Amino acid sequence: MSSAFLLSLDQGTTSTRAILFDARGAEVASLGEPLAQHYPRDGEVEHDALEIFSASVKVLRGVLGRAGVSPSQVAAIGITNQRETVVVWDRRTGEPVGRALVWQDRRTAPECEALRARGFETRVTALTGLLLDPYFSATKLAWILDSQPGLRARAEAGELLAGTMDTWVIWKLTGGAVHATDATNASRTLLFDIHAQDWSDELLDLFRVPRALLPRVLDCADDFGATLPEMLGGAIAIRGVAGDQQAALMGQGCLRPGEMKATYGTGCFMLLNTGETAPRSSSRLLTTVAARLGGRATYALEGSIFVAGAALQWINEGLGVEGGGAAVEALAQRARSGHGVILVPAFTGLGAPWWDPDARGALLGMTRDTGLAEIADAAFEAAAFQTRDLIEAMRLDAPAAFGPDAELRIDGGMSRSTWFCQKLSDLTRTPVGRAAYEETTALGAALFAGLGCGLYPDAATAAVARPSTKRMTPRTPGPDADAAYAVWLRSVSRIRSDS
């Protein structure tokens, strides 16, 4: 077992990275490539799918070379990806019909609002666990098919294929032999019935997406074919696929109901494992597939924060504080105690549980003594308060998950700061476990691949490879944390678009 390697491809929003792991889950080598962002108009975000594939091959080849490992020594590849980003391509030539529309793209908001006004959201949520929002893939696909004359007819004739970035990369790596996705990515499209575990004809009709476009839906640990030998210098089996947040859930070892994780990057995604029960959220959280193994699906409640680390970047770029997140943290630690400043970073609207795309950010509670240090501190507190928004919503939807041993496992850029981790624990009144190894998303994909190729006999054995955590418990007295959170809620109410 110790001589086998697992190769992970993490195709993210701003970069594509390959990481080689040994069978114990330890990183051997890594290599990344930045990804260009295209913004044709306000609210529109696009990626070049060919650039993504080229970068994928480059980093996969490069990391093997850097480690001095041959393809024959790699047991399997696992792929994880930005989830809702979608592309359409020509089945014969392999050429995209246009750029991929990124999960952040908001161009189909009017279509979502029109469907909501016609009363479809309740039914869509019942089938998919999602809300009617341009965040998801279905309206993006419909937009692409209507963007050029003849595309819809070609799609209906079976001449075109579509998929999220996992599907696209798999199709290209296998030379067009495999057109497939996994259940976690499928569950983010607004086209997949998470209860029947299949594409829904009802939803395909509603969103005007031909079934012929769509990939097969496999388990997270499954046979996704093998790379063409010339791609990487030898054929390597692809045996694991999961969307980025579900891969991180696996990488954090959150296999049992009640276990939860949050990943802090540009935004923050928090998932709570609910086991084989797919709860219907009363708090406007998402119900999503956590994993599907051996044909059996497990589910999770998910909440999305649009701005977490991006608030620190705003202070760097917008307020002229040089030195990245570390400089913002150093500044924040000099803030006056009890300064009362609240930053609601609704730069692109509010995510869960508010789902208010028209809300806009605000700085509240400023006095003549307010300076950059207080604003910097408020940016970190905003990430903690938004996390508490999600925790409180999940507590309402799944109260049994929050027993005395509940812990929020965290990873991502902001988790590097011990100071922030303690603040997070204090303000959410929740124990926090910081992962000792940050790249849990890539690790999760590798562990799914290890399951898929038989390197691990079961998920519990695979999860032994997850990183250790440093646990922090709340220090701030409960009443003080609750009072601070009440101020946050009042601040949010002031900037809501419906207030």
Tell me the per-residue pLDDT of 18-43, one tens digit each, with 9 for 90 and over.
999 999 999 999 999 999 989 998 88
In angstroms, the CA 85 to CA 77 distance is 21
Q: Given a cut of 70, is residue 13 above it in pLDDT? A: yes
pLDDT at 3: 58
Using DSSP's 3-state secondary structure scheme, residue 61 falls into helix
For residue 158, count other CB atoms closer than 10 A to its CB.
12
**10 exposure class (CB count in 10 Å sphere: 0-12, 13-18, 19+):** buried
With a threshold of 0.85, does the pTM exceed it?
yes
In angstroms, the CA 461 to CA 455 distance is 10
pLDDT at 1: 40
As a whole number, the mean pLDDT across the chain is: 93
- What's the pLDDT tens digit per position in 399-428? 877 777 889 999 988 999 999 999 999 999
For residue 323, count other CB atoms closer than 10 A to its CB.
11
Two tokens, residue 45: 């975000």
**55-59, 134-138, 277-281, 397-401 — most confident range:** 55-59
**282 exposure class (CB count in 10 Å sphere: 0-12, 13-18, 19+):** exposed
Lowest-confidence segment of 122-126, 324-328, 402-406 by average pLDDT: 402-406
- What's the pLDDT tens digit per position in 78-108? 999 999 999 999 999 999 999 999 988 889 9
Using DSSP's 3-state secondary structure scheme, residue 79 falls into strand
In angstroms, the CA 175 to CA 217 distance is 19
- What's the pLDDT tens digit per position in 183-205? 999 999 999 999 999 999 999 99
Phi (first) and psi of residue 293, to 5 degrees:
-130, 135
79 touches 238 (CB < 8 A):
yes
For residue 460, count other CB atoms closer than 10 A to its CB.
11
29 touches 63 (CB < 8 A):
yes
pLDDT level of residue 499 (50, 70, 90 thresholds): low
Phi (first) and psi of residue 104, to 5 degrees:
-75, -10
In angstroms, the CA 413 to CA 434 distance is 11
In angstroms, the CA 10 to CA 17 distance is 5
CA 78-437-420 angle, 5° bins: 130
Q: How far is CA 32 from CA 45, 56, 385, in A?
A: 21, 9, 32
Which residues sit opposite 472 in a β-bridge?
A: 432
Rg (CA), the chain: 22
- What's the pLDDT tens digit per position in 201-226? 999 999 999 999 999 999 999 999 99
- What's the pLDDT tens digit per position in 235-253? 999 999 999 999 999 999 9
In angstroms, the CA 242 to CA 80 distance is 5
Q: Given a cut of 70, is residue 2 above it in pLDDT? A: no
Task: Answer left, alpha or beta for residue 479, where phi above 0 means left and psi between -120 and 50 means alpha.
Answer: alpha
Which residue, chain included where needed, has tokens 């696992």? 78
Strands 100-101 and 46-47: antiparallel
Helices within 2-83 (DSSP H only): 49-67
Lowest-confidence segment of 42-46, 312-316, 447-451 by average pLDDT: 42-46
Per-residue pLDDT, averaged over 114-125, amounts to 96
Q: What secondary structure letter does DSSP report for 440? A: H
Two tokens, residue 10: 């993490």
